[in-house]
Structure 1
Amino acid sequence: MWADHAIWWQIYPLGFTADQPAHRLAHLENWLDYAIELGCNGLLLGPVFASETHGYDTIDHFRIDPRLGDDADFDRLVAKAHDRGLRIALDGVFNHVARSFVHPEWFRADGGTFEGHEHLIALDHSNPAVAQYVGDVLRHWLDRGVDAWRLDAAYAVPPEFWRNVLPRDRDAWYFGEVIHGDYAGYVEKSGLDSVTQYELWKAIWSSLNDGNFFELSYALGRHNALLDTFVPQTFVGNHDVTRLATRLEDERHLGHALAILFTVAGVPSVYYGDEQAFRGLKEDRVGGDDAIRPAFPDTPEGLASYGWPTYRLHQDLIGLRRRHPWLTHARTTVEHVTNQTIALRARHGDESVLLLLNVSDSDAEFPVEDAVVVPPHSWKFLTHP
């Protein structure tokens, strides 16, 4: 499937375009070539539907948020993206809606809210009218050219609901936001193509911060097991978490995290700004997401000079993945591990890539192949046909 070759550039449109006047979707057109030059071939958009505030409090799933523009703006963006070979994914928020949602009769009878947020009301997924509505929304935007859907808070929705509503008569890709639990079981019950790999996300930054690669080794074992059922959606940053450059305690390890992401199996995404080493702390308060959902300038030329080395690092690593497309399905074995060093071999058939990571303060000699030495706080690739 085409998704095997997808690398997404994720954007939160309401934040990305916050400094623009009306018809703000047009602002994204200035960044399509930037995404392609980065190495991405898909644009993963945060909420674009009419909402009360931040987009996850939807009012009407059939209407583009007037702050972003209208149907014509959306159609033009899709057309310009497709002209460049960029797929489009939308964020479908179907677990909960705003209190002013157009169908309050579909709210759960117990008046349940989403994770205690009083302005986010959970829908009754046992109601056939809700299933019909969600299916109609998915199909409407697929007919308008959308290629994929991210299903927000999928973990809060009974998995059988998705199996009943997802349109299967077209070449679309569906992945759900699942934070913890039985990833493979949820995929099997729901019929989704993939779910978000939060367990690997946590292990990447945590093992680097703690100097404990045994945590990463354990997580990769679990990651490999998931491949028997599905290919996970992988990431080191998104719209809901503290920026990687802020999360890492040693900025020298940013490349280590990215090298892991683009070596292990999965369908990876890059959250806008991470490719420029943006900082941002997520906080548990009103407005606590603002720092990780910033506005971007009119064009790439408006970005600060300090971020471009990280952009070029992303290009190099995505380029390696493009040269080895089998990495999407590769199993990763740990050939050597200590607290502060690890050797990861990604293999598929007769091909393999060996990634050596060292987060210690001294040279590390790896007992693999020809005893390769990796300098302090560095990493190295060895590839084999």
Structure 2
Amino acid sequence: MSPEPGWVRHAVLYHLYPLGFLGAERTADEVPEGEVRHRLSALEPWLDHAVSLGASGILLGPVFASRTHGYDTTDHLAVDRRLGDEADLVALFAAAHARGLRVVLDGVFNHVGEDFGEYRQALAEGPSSPAARWFRLRWPDPSAADGGGHPAHDDFEGHGALVALAHDEPAVAAHVEHVMRYWLERGADGWRLDAAYAVPPAFWAPVLTAVRAAHPDVYVVGEVIHGDYAGIVAASGMDAVTQYELWKATWSSLEDGNAWELAHALRRHAEFTEAFVPLTFVGNHDVTRIASRLSDPRHLDHALALLLTVPGTPCVYAGDEHGFTGVKEDRAGGDDAVRPAFPATPSELSPVGLPVLHRHQELVGLRRRHPWLHDAELSVRHVSNPLLVVALAPRAGAPDAGPDEGVLLVLSTDDAEVRWGLPADLPGALAAGPAALAAGTGSLADGGRTVVLPPHGWAVLTHP
């Protein structure tokens, strides 16, 4: 298995998208030149909320200078003036650390915005400029009506304002290494690498080797939607990638009542965990909220139980813990519904979401009491369209597991009551002794050897 910093074994991350969360202007142009909006300190009450949730770290969306949504970076070494300045960000690191929270930053190193310094320099100085080698440019732009003095450039997935970097250029690698080390030296604990699936994995290996030589405790996770997860981790030197396969299977299998899809994804997930521990989630800033994906609200608990029992580094997207809804749309502004502004303090949120918050706290607590779940051995013990049973056992040599440890997750999407007898080959004390209900809507019968689920019920079982 890929090594990772020791602190990650106990990590549950709380994910914030600051530009939306803090109600920042839609574009940097709306802030007068020379002015700074010192908003980052307003996140401090939400650090306390993350602690009350049971989280041990913050995954912070883009905070660096950009023109619009943060993923069009114009300066990796400057804080977006809609959010604050370097002193504000360093103070946020300190405030998080004072609460026992790590901070993982979002680094956009596949592409940059059109106002990025080297891109502007390349346009001004022409194709022979050293800055021109930073990008995949074609001089002159063949599509320009006048023959074009400016070049055409490769972009990110058809977004012309996102200029793709040339990852075979040594100066680009040196810049990325410098940026990562710069913010780690100022208090960051890790990096999410945005659009890592679009960057050749071999680019990362020397960069991350150099970064880890200076900061051995850094956690690095790549955004990878599809592809050879384990191969990308091995070739890049990242600690992990985002587990989009399991995210998709979680909501679609629950919505369709197709436990076979989820069972297949969980078996693949178990294979991934032999090589590395993925970052797991049921929501983030780029996707429709889980509460909007599921037409039956009873299944929200099923998704959360999966997130917080199966192996992985779980990440909760801000608002999901209160049952927020929001649908992502493929249009300009289509992310707005899943990136809303939040009130000044958590106490101002509607009490309607408190039952969802309490379920999160219950299951995060269970996760923290069983830290071996981080890289547990997972086996699918039963699958049918209304019922899925998953067993979790400590990996051999797990330093934080007792001899009788084991967890059983039982999920039903059946309209009728479901009963399932516990076999004698379950992990730990679940093999022979009575089980205990650690969480869920189910109950136990037959001396703790049969789990009984109400319609659309679920249960997490442990030994007493």
Q: TM-score of the superposition, structure 2-length normalised? A: 0.82
Structure 1 residue 333: Cα displacement: 1.1
Q: Which residue of 1 aligns with 2:212?
A: 168
Summarize deviations over 1:90-146 as a string: whole Å, max 9, x none: 000000111111111222124101000011110001111100000000000000010
Distance 1:313 1:258 in 2: 8
Partner secondary structure for residue 309 of structure 2:
coil
Structure 1 residue 19: Cα displacement: 6.1
1:1-385 equivalent positions in 2, closer than 5 A: 1-18=6-23, 22-104=37-119, 105=132, 106-110=134-138, 111-166=153-208, 167-169=211-213, 170=215, 171-348=217-394, 349=396, 350=403, 351-369=405-423, 370-384=449-463
Partner secondary structure for residue 366 of structure 1:
strand
RMSD: 1.2
Is residue 279–residue 312 contact of structure 2 (8 Å, CA) maintained in 1?
A: yes
Is residue 24–residue 83 contact of structure 2 (8 Å, CA) maintained in 1?
A: no
Summarize deviations over 1:277-322 as a string: whole Å, max 9, x none: 0000000000000000000100111101101110110000000001
Is residue 207–residue 213 contact of structure 1 (8 Å, CA) maintained in 2?
A: yes
Partner secondary structure for residue 31 of structure 1:
helix
- Report percent identity of matched pairs: 58
Distance 2:235 2:261 in 1: 29
Q: Unaligned 5+ residue runs, structure 2?
A: 1-5, 26-35, 120-131, 139-152, 397-402, 424-448
Moved more, 25-34 or 367-376: 367-376
Moved more, 300-309 or 137-146: 300-309
Structure 1 residue 64: Cα displacement: 0.3
Q: Unaligned 5+ residue runs, structure 1?
A: none
Distance 1:249 1:345 in 2: 27
Partner secondary structure for residue 220 of structure 2:
strand
Distance 2:332 2:348 in 1: 29
Partner secondary structure for residue 286 of structure 1:
coil
Partner secondary structure for residue 39 of structure 2:
coil
Write the letter of the residue equivalent to 1:113.
D
Write the letter of the residue equivalent to 1:380.
A
Write the letter of the residue equivalent to 1:38.
L
Is residue 343–residue 366 contact of structure 1 (8 Å, CA) maintained in 2?
A: no
Write the letter of the residue equivalent to 1:148.
G
Partner secondary structure for residue 274 of structure 2:
coil
Structure 1 residue 175: Cα displacement: 0.5
Distance 1:185 1:145 in 2: 30
Q: TM-score of the superposition, structure 1-length normalised? A: 0.98
Show structure 1 runs of 4+ deviating over 4 A.
Answer: none
Is residue 260–residue 383 contact of structure 2 (8 Å, CA) maintained in 1?
A: yes
Partner secondary structure for residue 314 of structure 2:
strand
Higher Rg: 2
Between the two proteins, the alignment pairs up a number of residues equal to: 385
Partner secondary structure for residue 342 of structure 1:
strand
